[in-house]
Amino acid sequence: MAILVDSNTKVIVQGITGKQGEFHAQQMIAYGTKVVGGVTPGKGGSTAATSVPVFDTVDQAVKATGANTSIVFVPPPNAKDAIMESADAGVQLTVVITEHIPPLDAWKAIALASKLGTRVIGPNCPGVVSPGKSKVGIMPNPIFSPGGVGVVSRSGTLTYEVAYQLTRAGLGQSSVVGIGGDPVVGTSFTEVLAMFEDDPETRAVVLLGEIGGDAEEKAAEYISARMTKPVVAYVAGRTAPAGKRMGHAGAIVSGTEGTAETKIKTLELAGVRVAETPSEIPRLLAPSLR
């Protein structure tokens, strides 16, 4: 098994005729993902990314292809409408790659999607991959391998690094989820942890956090109260100066709140083993996977 995406996932690419949309559609197809259509208003009836049919609306694409998942490469000013359109069309999962979406737009779109039963991953995220089954995102194809380690992360690049370290160490992954680093995201650490807890294929979990916000603290509360599977974590940004934005809009330390030290202490009190470097993660995981 896996979480969020698997071999039955059928994907439509919103913004498929754009440079990024078309390139990553091709990469997803190369990975084995069932990319069944794309959406670009005004270009319906054409094809893109190795003969993928293009539709004018998500509703048309869903009705024609049976798609249950969408991925959004639409520019920020139009991303809110793209997310809402996928929810209106009954898509079960929408992965939003677009960055620089205004927080109020993201909040409105995610609220509507939740009301209509559509789960949103992102925005400003690298996507989701269940190795050997499906990839819906922009993650590099070669770095993943199937196995029993679930990975959830706020950081895109850190996700790639840790997946590569795990694969090199012979520790395959059940699913890898990048939730995004913006202040407003559709799916939290806690929600993904709950999915991994319920997934029989996942034997242990890696949580990759960073400075800013309280997502890691909330995750620690959940882990302490509900998780039975071992969790190893890494928190990026130990040396970040207070008040300075570091990478993501959500990665800002205000006074003593949101610091790496606070997050690490809270996670350790919840029984999480916290790595000092990403390369240390496989070693900390190994005893749990014997």
Q: How far apart are CA 101 and CA 84, in angstroms?
A: 14
Residues in contact with 211: Cβ distance below 8 Å, sequence separation at least 6, in sequence order:
235, 236, 237, 240, 246, 251, 252, 253, 258, 259, 260, 263
Catalytic pick from 248, 251, 270, 272?
248
d(CA 103, CA 122): 12
Q: Whole-angstrom Cα distance, residue 175 to residue 259?
A: 28
Q: Are strands 134-137 and 127-130 parallel, antiparallel or unpaired?
A: antiparallel
* Annotation marks residue 100 as catalytic: no
Residues with catalytic annotation?
248
